[in-house]
Amino acid sequence: MTASRDLLIRLIRCACLGLVLCGQASAALAQAPIIQPGAPGEPARELSAGDATKIAVTSYSPADVRFMQDMIPHHHQALEMSELAPDRTNRPDVLEAARRIEASQADEIGFMQLWLRERGQQVPDPAAHAAMHTDHKMAGMASPEQMAELAAGQGTDFDRLFLELMIRHHEGAVKMVKELLEREGTAFDPVLFEFTTDVTNDQTAEIEKMNALLVTLSPDPRAGLAAGFDDAGEALLNLERIASLPRPAGFFDPRNPAELPPQPPRTDPPAEKAEPPRKQPDDEDERYPLLSFANTDMAFAGDVLVAGSYHGFNIYRLGEGGLPELLSSVVCPGGQGDVSIVGDLLIMSVEQLRGRLDCGLEGVDEDASPERFRGIRIFDISDLARPVQVGAVQTCRGSHTHSVISGPDEHAGEGGRIIVYNSGISDVRDTEEMEGCYDELPGDDRTALFRIDVIEIPVADPSKARIVDSPAVFADPEKGILAGLWRGGDHGDDTQETKQTDQCHDITAFPELGLAAGACSGNGILFDISDPLRPRRIDAVVDKGFAYWHSATFNNDGSKVIFTDEWGGGSRPRCRAYDPMTWGADAIYDIVDGKLEFRGYFKLPAPQVEQENCVAHNGSIVPVPGRDIFVQAWYQGGVSVIDFTDSARPVEIAYFDRGPIDAEHLVVGGYWSTYWYRGRIYGTEIVRGLDLFELLPGEYLTENEIAAAALADQGARFNPQQQFRVDWPAEPVVARAYLDQLERDKALPDPLVAELLAALDSLEAGPEGGARDENLAATLQSLGAALREDGLQGDAGDAIATMRRARLADTLLALAEGLR
């Protein structure tokens, strides 16, 4: 009993002591100040524990609040547009899209309002569009005028405008999310972050669905073609596909010829009657770097066609009707594999890190290795069956493309020399791998950026090929800086993000004129190449709709240039129904007194789906006398032939298109290049092979014009980035081609047309073998003179007709001379 009482007394004493100590500690803690220092020179201030806690606990930022406040009226406008649909359309798919959007946007508005209220923030009136902090246009908001136009629409007109505006609206929401997440300290709130992720995913998926609907509204036969690798739907106008050759053996994976992406293994057993899963490559297959076997560019010499590839190149002999027959295949990986031919030499561009000097398939694992090759390869193809690598020029940025500028120059020694401009666009190599290669360092003018390479190839000994100069062609000579042209970025509201000008993608040379046109990432450039070793920039232009200046093509007399914009790099769908018609397009410039003057745009008019990579790519002139005609590849957008004789009003006159390679996946495919050569159009299809087309007469092109184009003298070779002036012989069909054009445009009086036709009929019905006919010669000479009379010349606005009359007159006079 006593022991228990003693224990109780001790416990009470300890408890009392603890209370005293705790009280003292509490008092000490309560007396300790909480200080918030001020800025230098300013006094500190004392905070309460409550205030200190409030400052430390911040799960959202002012930018988060503004984002939610702006997104509410943004979503509300989508509700307003959707509510218009039931009274203006009866299309079930459009009505379903409107109902789906209305439900999702209303639900998300409720969520955003609750999020703001819970945090004590102001909740805006959903209809108060003017309350938005962001720029309306950049956010994809429709203007009052557009909303009024939509409300006035009915039927198909409403459907099309509703989808176009709603797609822009959804793109604006995705852009707003992107801009929020790019700011420091935003979206830390997990609830908000999840919401932004949902907005991006849901609205991106909705955009794809609406684009598919827009495609169905297009009257163009190319819209909505069925997908398939070798059985896709096709549409064509004034073109006939006369042959299709698959990629040769060794230049595709036979287990996956369409290069479909590997699919994850199925976890659920397939339904009893379900289709069997698509066969995929083995899981351990490692041959899936992008474009491993892709066909790329072409070059021609005589009756030889060489088709480049990321895997090497293939050599064909052109037989009867221009039909290609495979002679040999050369495996030499490294991409991009663009090719040119000069005499018995083939020049090839290599840029990938896997490229090896010995053309090996195993690639290079080391960061720096003497076995790696990136630059210009040179092959001797005198024996077409067994090409031999005879030269190799290493470059700091590899070789994406190259341009034969001149040569062989017989005055440069035995066999002469070839001058090539190299365009490298890859990362700069480490100096450990190649001495003298420097990346961009502040104040270091040795950088390999902002330059092209001038390469000299001695024909007699290509192994001695070398870089003779790397001029800084983008420099500002007045300020003394290398980065003298476009610095990168956008051009203001509603404009494109344009890449910095530190490289040329393509440089197309017109040696006869001493000119070259450079498509140089951020600028279109006109060069003076009268001295091929010292290219000189004489003009440069920018375009607010161009993302990446890609390629350039002169017209036949070098008075115009078509520049192309490879928006999305060629691997993205950029010809969707809602994509801007001036982005990923052609820009046409006239050359006036050595300056580039913009005239007009052309973009593929047929809407493509999300599974089709599509943008402007490589093409060539179709040599119809009296007209400027261009055949062009648009990747999975197909082939397009345009007339740009009137630079400000280009017109599509022929096309060919297939459906997407796959109905579900975007596979990088379609036409890399399409070129006219000896009366035929050849197209390299990235995954399908090689196609051959011929033009057909129709509304836009006559049989005489096509026949005259086939007579054009293109010279001994055709290289992608080298042009020569085309000439036409003095033949009756050439005269008839000019006459067809003048008659189509009603640029000649009917009696004169009748006289011209009668004279040409007599000429073609007369004796062959150059027999003399003074009377017919006199008639042709008289008609030629009549075409030059002042009364027929028209005013300055009739320049095209005047040009055609003059050329017809010259042809008639040449025909008359042949009869004497």
The residue ranges of every structural domain in the chain are 61-217, 228-261+289-296+488-508+534-726, 732-818
pTM of the model: 0.87
336 cis-preceded (ω within 30 degrees of 0): yes
Structure tokens at 313: 């190149």
Report whether 300 contacts 717 (CB < 8 A). yes
The secondary element (H helix, E strand) that includes residue 67 is helix 62-84
**What is the DSSP annotation of 14-28?**
HHHHHHHHHHHHHHH
Report which residue type is found at 575: C
Q: What was the pLDDT predicted at 792?
A: 59
For residue 283, what pLDDT band results from cuts at 50, 70 and 90?
A: very low
Structure tokens at 131: 């309350």
Q: What was the pLDDT predicted at 796?
A: 45
Instruction: Report helix, strand or coil for 115.
Output: helix
What are the pLDDT digits (tens) for 521-558? 999 999 999 999 999 999 999 999 999 999 999 999 99
Q: What was the pLDDT predicted at 126?
A: 86
Q: What was the pLDDT predicted at 10?
A: 54
Residues 6+ apart with CB under 8 A from 193: 187
Quick one: what percent of the chain has pLDDT higher than 90?
80
Average pLDDT over residues 6-22: 49
Residues 6+ apart with CB under 8 A from 448: 396, 397, 424, 428, 437, 438, 439, 470
What are the pLDDT digits (tens) for 374-433? 999 999 999 999 999 999 999 999 999 999 999 887 555 667 999 999 999 999 999 999
**What is the DSSP annotation of 509-577?**
EEGGGTEEEEEEBTEEEEEE-SSTTS-EEEEEE--TT-S-EEEEEE-TTSSEEEEEE-TTTTSSB---T
Report whether 164 contacts 147 (CB < 8 A). no
Average pLDDT over residues 64-90: 95
Q: Which residues pair with 341 in a beta bridge?
A: 346
d(CA 619, CA 626): 19
Q: What was the pLDDT predicted at 444?
A: 77
Average pLDDT over residues 70-78: 94
For residue 282, what pLDDT band results from cuts at 50, 70 and 90?
A: very low
For residue 279, what pLDDT band results from cuts at 50, 70 and 90?
A: very low
Q: What was the pLDDT predicted at 788?
A: 83
The superfamily CATH assigns to domain 61-217 is Ferritin, core subunit, four-helix bundle (1.20.1260.10)
d(CA 747, CA 744): 8
Range 562-601 burial, b when 16+ CB lie within 10 A, else e: bbbbbbbebbbbbbbbbbeebbbbbbbbbbeeeebeebbb
Q: What was the pLDDT predicted at 4?
A: 52
Structure tokens at 735: 């005269």
For residue 6, what pLDDT band results from cuts at 50, 70 and 90?
A: low
Q: What was the pLDDT predicted at 770?
A: 52
- Say yes or no to pLDDT of 583 above 80: yes
